[in-house]
A and B are shown apart, each in its own frame.
Chain A
Amino acid sequence: AQSVTQLDSQVPVFEEAPVELRCNYSSSVSVYLFWYVQYPNQGLQLLLKYLSGSTLVKGINGFEAEFNKSQTSFHLRKPSVHISDTAEYFCAVSDDSGYALNFGKGTSLLVTP
């Protein structure tokens, strides 16, 4: 079964600093990879997705991610974070059926002044 591992449970960072949230996946077949953001007491919002093609994927709010097949990684990056980026970030992979999303345990990004 396809799964993802988010290596950091919490990432504290200062405002305007760059950030990288790490995600590794395990799969024996083609994968579809996603990053979602969840603000407190809200649902999940799609940041970006990798389906095929270019390995560098750009998303909303200035985030981007790079699909690296050899390292089985899909790390999320932002060159300069804002206080408003404070949230929980989930990496997810689409399972073999194409329906269910298997989520990582999440990374809590805390941006401080």
Chain B
Amino acid sequence: DAMVIQNPRYQVTQFGKPVTLSCSQTLNHNVMYWYQQKSSQAPKLLFHYYDKDFNNEADTPDNFQSRRPNTSFCFLDIRSPGLGDAAMYLCATSREERGYNEQFFGPGTRLTVL
């Protein structure tokens, strides 16, 4: 089945130690998103790629970076994780169609910062 895959499902890192989360998709969608969801809160968009074009949300900290080497893969890099970055990170994809984008979500990676 076509799907959005996130690895790992659970990631533990140390304060200040760089960490990379990965997302892959078999849907061949041209748009990929990264959301941050803190406990008991709504998902918050960090950035998205439209093909190779990177679009950063205005309030996304510089500590968060992203790479999309090809259509199928997208990475979230946290350069120096702080305790406040502990959250669920959700990857989503969409294919632009008639002005709206139905987003398909992966299962998420839960990040713990020690």
Contact = CB atoms under 8 A, between A and B. Distances in A.
Interface residues of B, number: 31
5 contacts: A43-B105, A46-B102, A94-B101, A100-B57, A101-B45
Interface string B90-114: 1010101011111111111010000
Interface stretch (A13-21, A54-62, A76-84, A102-110): A102-110
Interface of B: 4, 6, 31, 33, 40-45, 48, 50, 55, 57, 88, 90, 92, 94, 96, 98-108, 110
Given A41-B108, A44-B90, A99-B31, A105 B100 contact: no
A103 B107 contact: no
Contacts of A46: 102-104
> Looking at chain A, what size class is its interface with the partner chain?
20 to 34
